[in-house]
Amino acid sequence: MNRDISSLRENYSKDILDTSTVNANPFVQFKEWLYKALDEGLPEPTAFILSTVNQDGMPSGRTILLKEIWDDAFLFFTNYESHKAQDIMHNSHVAATFLWLGLERQIRIKANVKKVSREVTDAYFESRPRGSKLGAWASPQSQLISSREALDQRLKDVESRFEEVEDIPTPEFWGGYAMYPTEIEFWQGRRDRLHDRILYSKEKDNWLINRMAP
Ligand SMILES: Cc1cc2nc3c(=O)[nH]c(=O)nc-3n(C[C@H](O)[C@H](O)[C@H](O)COP(=O)(O)O)c2cc1C
C-alpha cells in the first residue's frame, strides 16, 4: 500500500457539468444529484458537513444528516442547546458541504438558518424509532460528561420515565433548522484538476448561474 500521500493522484472522469445543461432551479439540480447518490448506494448519501461560526469568529464543522428538502430550504434536526445551536444563535450564517466521492461530486451551500416550527419538528420526531427518541432525551449534546456509564444511566432514567408512554413527546430542547441558501455550488471532478464548478447565486428572487474556475 502506497503511504506517500503526496504521490496519490486520482483523475476524475465520471461526468461533466455545464451552465447550458444544469436545471435553472438549484433545488431541482440538488435533488437530481442526491437521488443519483442514493441510487448508486453510496454510504450515508444525506450526510453533509455543517459549518458554523461562534461568537468569537471561530469556525466549527460537523457531520449532520439532511432530513427534508423544501422548495426553498434544506432541513436538519439537532439539539437546540448544542454547540452548533449556540453558534447559530449568534450567527445565522452557515455552510453545508456534501461530498459524494463515488460520483466525484461536491455541493457547497451558503445559507441563512432558522428554527422550523414546532409542528414540523414534532412531525419528524414522531417518525423516529423509539430508541432515537429516547436517545434525544438522554443526551445533553455537546456537554462534557463524566463517563459512558453516566450516559447509559441517563438512558436508563429516561427509559423508566417513559416506560408507560407510547408516544414519546419531543424534548423542548430538540428540533429542526431550515437552511435557506443564498449560494449553491455544484462541483464535478474532471481530468487534470480542471474541474467543472457551476455557481447559483440568489439575486432577489432569481438564481443567477455562472461558471467558476476550478
Ligand atoms: C454520519 C453522521 C451523522 C450525524 N447526524 C447528525 C444529525 O443529524 N444531527 C445531530 O445533531 N448530530 C449528528 N451527528 C453528530 C454530529 O456530527 C456532532 O457530533 C453533534 O451534532 C454535536 O455537534 P456540536 O457539538 O458541534 O453541536 C452525526 C454524525 C455523523 C458522523
Per the annotation, the verdict on 128 as an active-site residue is no
pLDDT, mean of each 10-residue run, the chain (214 residues): 93 97 98 98 98 98 98 98 98 98 98 98 98 98 97 98 97 98 98 97 97 98
- State whether the beta carbon of 83 lies less than 6 angstroms from ligand 1: yes
Identify the pLDDT of residue 93.
Answer: 98
CA distance 78 to 165: 23
* Crossing angle (nearest 10°) for helices 130-138 and 148-161: 120
Given the DSSP bridges, would you call strands 196-203 and 74-79 parallel, antiparallel or unpaired? unpaired
Q: Which of 46, 52, 78, 151 most suits a substitution to test ligand 1, by most atoms within 8 Å of the C-beta?
A: 78
For the chain, list the domains and their CATH numbers.
9-126+173-212 (2.30.110.10)
**What pLDDT sits at residue 1?**
87
Residue 200 Cβ inside 6 Å of ligand 1? The answer reads no
